[in-house]
Amino acid sequence: MGDFTGAMPSPAQWGSLINVLARLSAALNLNPAGGVRYVNPESGAASDRWAINGHRDWMGTGCPGDMMYNALGAVRGQTAAARAGLGIYPGSTGIPMPAMPQLPEIPNLGS
């Protein structure tokens, strides 16, 4: 999306982010305002994290930038509201969420 150390995403970027995260959290049955327990499949090490977090929550990086990182609480809340079916991108845009397109089935190539 970009470097948000000194600036926030545009309204279009913000709306798209909320839309994508709302759909992903619904598809994965995650509470966007809640936590998850991540278990490393190789080592078995477990860690409790926000369902929506920044790369810096996992490693030494500045991503997604200080301004965006400080806005992750709003991202969680607005994603939860969008997922709950308010039907709009939360925030200033007020643009209706587009319908999710029907995806074609993927054939099982292994049979």
The pLDDT tens digits of the residues spanning 62-103 come to: 888 899 999 999 999 999 988 887 544 444 344 444 454 454
Res. 52: pLDDT tops 90: yes
Q: Per the structure block, which two tokens stand in for 9?
A: 């995403």
Residue 86, pLDDT score? 54
Contact indicator for 108, 100 with CB cutoff of 8 Å: no
Q: What is the pLDDT, as a whole number, of residue 30? A: 85
Residue 21 has pLDDT above 90, yes or no: yes
- From 74, 78, 73, select the one nearest 88 (Cα to Cα): 78
- pTM for this predicted structure: 0.72
